[in-house]
Amino acid sequence: MPLCGTESIARRVLRSTPRGALLRPMSLTVISPLVPTGTELTAILVVVSFSAGLNVYATVGMLGLLARFNVLALPLALHLLQDWKVIAICGVLFLLEFVGDKIPVFDLLWNAAHTFVRVPVAAFLAYAATSQLPQWEQIAATFAGGLIALAAHGGKTAARAAIVHSPEPFSNFALSSAEDALVIFLMWIVTRHPYVASVIVMLALCVTAILIRFVVHSLRALFSDAEASLFSSGSGNSPH
């Protein structure tokens, strides 16, 4: 008899409770954003800095969208990024870069000019994201963020120089599209598996270092051959 009374009370409680209230805890669990701290924050900053070095507008826009849809919790200093106006501006600039980055010669000029955009923005993102840390750690994070972005930017420029003699514009289009896809993939995967994403970036940085060294060596060899050719032609035309 007591069991029956308890069961009837439970049924009345369930009937009187709004259906949404029963589902609310489960919904909050599903949409709970990632709040990075400690080593997770370090991993995310590595990925964000690298992505900004490749495509700063896609990176900032993705940060805003992830925060807007409650996937990633941004620090207070970066809350401006989730404003729809900022996201829209980044979207427009991303489309401009998406087109301009695939045009031979123009892409080299675009990338050269964006040396003064990608690196400072990456450094600022690292600085703003570490405002809760001691000042020396914040400065170190800022320097590291800018350095990682510079390495990614340098690798991107070196890759363009390496394919400058490839059939155009297909090589530019393929490489630029791969870079854009990589940025979007990294910015998404870092919210699910920060450490995996950071390992991918570390491997990409190793490849970037090898690529930069290869391009620098090739350019040196090219200039040496050109200098030798000019010297030999000058010697051949000199009067006896």
What is the distance between the alpha carbons of residues 117 and 26, in angstroms, rounded to a whole number?
Answer: 42
Question: Could you give the C-alpha distances from 200 to 1, 57, 157, in angstroms and in order?
Answer: 63, 21, 20
Look at the block and give the residue holding tokens 């370090």.
Answer: 42
pLDDT greater at residue 49 or residue 168: 49
pTM assigned to the model: 0.77
What is the distance between the alpha carbons of residues 212 and 221, in angstroms, rounded to a whole number?
Answer: 14
Q: How confident is the model at residue 225 (pLDDT cuts 50, 70, 90)?
A: low
Which of 110-119, 179-188, 222-231 has the least mean pLDDT? 222-231
High-pLDDT (> 70) share of the chain, %: 75
Q: Can you give the three-state secondary structure of 147-170, one letter per residue?
A: HHHHHHHHHHHHHHHHCCCCCCCH
Q: Residue 20 pLDDT more than 50?
A: no
Average pLDDT over residues 171-185: 89
Residues 96 and 102: beta-carbon distance below 8 Å: no
Average pLDDT over residues 22-35: 53
Residues 125 and 78: beta-carbon distance below 8 Å: yes
- What pLDDT is attached to residue 23? 41
Average pLDDT of the residues of the chain: 82
CA torsion angle 57 59 65 68 (round to 10)? -110
Neighbours of 78 (CB within 10 A): 18
What is the b/e burial string over 58-71, where b = at least 16 CB atoms within 10 angstroms of the residue's CB?
Answer: bbbbbbbbbbeeeb
Q: Residue 169 pLDDT more than 80?
A: no
